[in-house]
Amino acid sequence: MRKKIVAGNWKMNLNFEDGQKLTSEIVNILKDENDKKVTVVLNPPFVHLYPVKKLIGDTPNLFLGSQNCSDKSSGAYTGEVSAAMLVSFGAEYVIIGHSERREYFKESNQLLTAKTRQALENGLIPIFCCGEPLDIREAGTHEAYVKAQLTESLFGFTEEEISKVVIAYEPIWAIGTGKTASSEQAQEMHAALRNHFASKYGQNVADNLSILYGGSCNPGNAKEIFSKADVDGGLIGGASLKSRDFVEIVKSF
């Protein structure tokens, strides 16, 4: 049975005190209200990893993730953070290939392959992001575009390795814009991506692959989106910065 996952991506937000407050609120609410056995992942900036992990403690089904990792294992790479470092701070997940990393930092599919390999070799679960910009969606070539991202980045991995990856589909035109893909659009793309993995790795692997939706998901639309057969949760941006909104999304299952 596929994991139901809600991952919060704080992006570059919150100072130390605000991060502590948000985490404490989420922990306290989830202890009482996460009765659906949803896997919840908090992905703060690097500087928050250790204090957030301490607050998470042994809270059931709540895990620490990172927003990025280096494609290198160690060395003279000033400003980078390795997968092994993340593990040493208690991280269990890492976001790879977020659209903002692809766009602003020009991360290529080949670089994301190397990052994914580093994550897997160090026991981290990659939340691998893919998705199309507005012009590709309007041209009607969005399925081919996103499938190419996945093929070029992930199809060199083994069946066993792919089974450890979580996919997050991000319609880039719906991130931070207030626009949201309809639940039907989300289902259509998620089903297409699952079929794409089935074509390479077989139906059993594809059926057990968690595919998250990441595009302006909020407490008002999460229940409808999560109700679709191939949507297994969400990668949440803005709404993850408000404890009650974030937990309401978790409870949408």
Task: Assign 68 to helix, strand or coil.
Answer: coil
Which residue among 100, 107, 132, 170 is the active-site one?
Answer: 170
- Identify whether the C-beta of residue 196 lies closer than 8 Å to the C-beta of residue 144: no
Told to judge if 188 belongs to the known catalytic residues of this protein, a careful annotator would answer no
- Identify whether the C-beta of residue 68 lies closer than 8 Å to the C-beta of residue 94: yes
Q: Is the sign of the CA dihedral 46, 217, 164, 34 positive or negative?
A: positive
Instruction: Please give the single-letter amino acid code of residue 144.
Output: A
From the number of C-beta atoms within 10 Å of its C-beta (0-12, 13-18, 19+), residue 143 rates as middle
Which residue among 48, 98, 142, 190 is the active-site one?
Answer: 98
Told to judge if 142 belongs to the known catalytic residues of this protein, a careful annotator would answer no
What DSSP character marks residue 212? E
Percentages (nearest 5) of helix, strand, coil residues in the chain: 50, 15, 40
Tokens of 28: 């306290």
Task: Please identify every residue annotated as catalytic.
Answer: 98, 170
